Amino acid sequence: MSHQINKDLFNEFFDALLKGKKDECFRISELFLAEGLSIKELYESVFKPALYKIGRMWEKNQISVATEHLATAITETILNSLYNEIKSTKKTGRTAVLACLENEFHQVGIKMVRDIFEKNGWETYFLGANTPAASVVSLAKSIKPDIIAVSFSIYSHLNILENMLTAFRQELEDIPILAGGQGFLHGGEEMLKQFSNVTYLPDLNTLEEFIQSYELETV
């Protein structure tokens, strides 16, 4: 069951995030959880839209790089504090490798994805920001994960995503690949269709549905 987001509280959170007020952001996040939001809902309905809005402001030169980086760092700190609460103690035996594209340095989105996998009992190998395709391929050949998930944040990096997917398909046969991120707000879904077994997931709810259906289909 999803909850209606308190818009006034969201605006307070966004204002605090924009001003770099970490303690206030923590306090408001706790209020959202006290109102009944799940951690996944907090990620999807508060953190994600706030960071997307800040990203758009940065693209339009309405805020500085420092302001954008500080907002991202605060959000990631809150994510880190919630990690032990969201991860499941029950393990499925499934594994996922998660990475950002090369030359992309924001890893908050893919860290949220990691947490949803771990909420569902998966073991994750989180490679974080700025990960060359060859590094993902090397790890995947070693551990043979069930799934690879990649974050695409900046639309002008579409060619980097395409090159990464090409490398995956050449080197990793038909392992399922998931792709998501703010970059897709500007396009790119059509490009994915040239590759087999690549799925675009627009949000964390769709991701969790995919994980659960994957587990049923591959028992």
Domains of the chain by residue range: 7-86, 95-217
CA distance 4 to 176: 33
Question: How high is the pLDDT of residue 215?
Answer: 83
pLDDT by residue for the chain (219 residues), tens only, comes to 567 889 999 999 999 999 999 999 999 999 999 999 999 999 999 999 999 999 999 989 999 999 999 999 999 999 999 999 999 999 999 999 999 999 999 899 999 999 999 999 999 999 999 999 999 999 999 999 999 999 999 999 999 999 999 999 999 988 999 999 999 999 999 999 999 999 999 999 999 999 999 988 876
Q: Are 183 and 158 in contact (CB under 8 A)?
A: yes
Question: How high is the pLDDT of residue 82?
Answer: 97
Return the SS3 of 93: coil
For 7-86, the fitting CATH number among 1.10.1240.10, 2.60.120.560, 2.30.140.10, 3.40.220.10 is 1.10.1240.10
Question: How high is the pLDDT of residue 69?
Answer: 95
Question: How high is the pLDDT of residue 219?
Answer: 64
CATH of domain 95-217: 3.40.50.280
Q: Are 209 and 187 in contact (CB under 8 A)?
A: no
Answer whether 7-86 and 95-217 agree in fold.
no
Residue 109 sits at the vertex; the CA angle it makes with 105 and 113, to the nearest 5 degrees, is 130
Residue 172: which H helix or E strand, with range? none
Question: How high is the pLDDT of residue 156?
Answer: 95
